[in-house]
Structure 1
């Protein structure tokens, strides 16, 4: 016997061996009960009441409101898969509604809150980045776009940090090409992160080790031009000088072009 105890009238429908009770509780009443449970931080019970609204009054305005609350309540509990599922369903049913931007943000925030430690695989960070960029692209003039941009910078820093960790490992193994490839990702994709200064220094170090002095000089020069007070530049300058050279920018180098592409510039 599956039933819901309520005051008022109820219709009884028999389905094979089970009796399914469909109530006629007002949608607004059920919804407000869900809000009351949310205020008490009884999130599982709140989700059930919001689901009751969606199930009993599927085509009502209250059902639309309940669905976004299901996503929010699950997100609050850390039930990220359920939050994403509810938010995606909301967007599929109500793509043009006033809460569509919030639903998109809940999806992004759910992925963002699952970003793992830098030592682990960063597939979830990539997924968070994509979802956050969706918020900014689809809803650029909302408060959620502002918050998404902040989270994007944190996610970028995480991804850049992972590249740096692997790049440093390659340098320790004297795999200079492997290291350069990792530092190149930081310089070309994550220039706004705190890791770019070290990446330019590591490029100087790797290129010097390979004897590709013009690229080493360029990375040191670009580092000095954009971050003249950086300790990484001081270290790069000393490294170049130790070989009787000076930092000199080759304008045709990918390093120089990468920085000009973002308006950070090079020397000259």
Structure 2
């Protein structure tokens, strides 16, 4: 029994020593172990500038973990989000930005965080913009663009004097037109399939949510046609009156096709 106990304790001791020396080896293999916060930050910035985004993310995360209350901590949180954005990792970038905004609500760079969040959603899937023409309307997912519109809207409403606000406004105009056009395409899809109530609801959504967009006359046109198909003539006439008042030429063409 004593011999078994001795073997047991010897095994445990060897295992502990193995862990100890492995840990020491890991420390020796970590070139950042003696770096200051300043050195970590500048090395991370250097990696970011060289386009080595994976390395930049690693250094920024080490910096925040080792010096969570230091002068570079909050900046590292924001910089790591930018590194993820540049690395085409939108989910990670947005998660990092949400964390930065939550942890630093009064930080001077919060407007930039909202701008970068909107930009990340705006560019989340660039091919989406091209697929708007090529793909079946009912199968497209404009969610990232809607989220970008909301992000830019938060920036413009909350920080109207920010240096990023004007660019955000311009992007909102573009997104408003794009999203309204998407809704009209879906409405047309429903019209072609005889789903007239769904088409009318999509068109009304454009009227209510995308005022000033280029698709407003299309929305009114769709409402007139859909409500007529549904024999809801009072609603059709209401939509036609609005169309006549604001887009008389379009109303004339619609009446001519009646």
Using the size of structure 1 for normalisation, the TM-score is: 0.73
7, 23, 27: which one aligns with 1:18: 23
Counterpart residue number, 2:70: 60
| Equivalent residues of 1:50, 1:70 under 8 A apart | yes
> How is 1:66-105 mapped onto 2 (pairs within 5 angstroms)?
66-105=76-115
> Could you tell me how far apart the structure 1 residues matched to 2:143 and 2:225 are?
29
What is residue 190 of structure 1 aligned with on the other side? Answer: 210
As a proportion of its length, which structure holds more strand?
1
- Show CA shifts across 1:47-77 (max 9, x none): 2222232223221112222221111111112
8 Å CA contact retained: 1:157, 1:195: yes
Whole-angstrom CA distance in 2 between matches of 1:173 and 1:88: 41
Separation of aligned partners in 2, 1:220 and 1:147: 36
Q: Distance between the aligned counterparts of 1:225 and 1:143, measured in 2?
A: 39
Structure 2 distance, partners of 1:151, 1:194, is: 15
Aligned partners of 2:227, 2:65: CA distance in 1, in Å? 64
CA distance in 2, matches of 1:15, 1:44: 29
1:110 aligns with 2:128: no
- 1:161 and 1:71, CA in 2 relative to 1: closer, same or farther beyond 3 A? same
Asked if structure 2 preserves the Cα contact closer than 8 Å seen for 1:161 and 1:195, the reply is: yes
Q: CA deviation at 1:17?
A: 5.7
Show the counterpart of 1:157.
Answer: 177
Structure 1 unaligned residues grouped into runs of 5+: 1-13, 243-268
Q: Cα–Cα, structure 1 residues 66 and 228, in superposed 2: closer, same or farther, change >3 Å? A: same
Query: For residues 198-237 of structure 1, what are the alpha-carbon distances to aligned partners after superposition, in whole Å with 9 as ceiling and x for unaligned?
Result: 11112222233344444434323322322345xx334223
- Equivalent residues of 1:204, 1:216 under 8 A apart: yes
**Aligned-residue offset at 1:15:** 6.8
Alignment correspondent of 2:236: 216
If each structure's helix is expressed as a fraction of its own residues, which one has the higher value?
A: 2
Shift of 1:129: 3.1
| Total equivalences in the alignment | 225
- How far, CA to CA, are the matches of 2:190 and 2:92 in structure 1? 40
* 1:23/1:56 contact within 8 Å kept: no
Structure showing greater Rg: 2
Q: Distance in 1 between matches of 2:38 and 2:80?
A: 15
1:50 to 60, 65, 74: 60
What is the match of residue 253 of structure 2? Answer: 235
What secondary structure is seen at the aligned counterpart in 2 of 1:51? helix
1:217–1:238 CA distance, 2 compared to 1 (3 A) = farther
Cα 1:87–1:173, aligned 2, differ >3 Å: closer, same or farther?
A: closer
Where do 5+ consecutive residues of structure 2 fail to align? 1-18
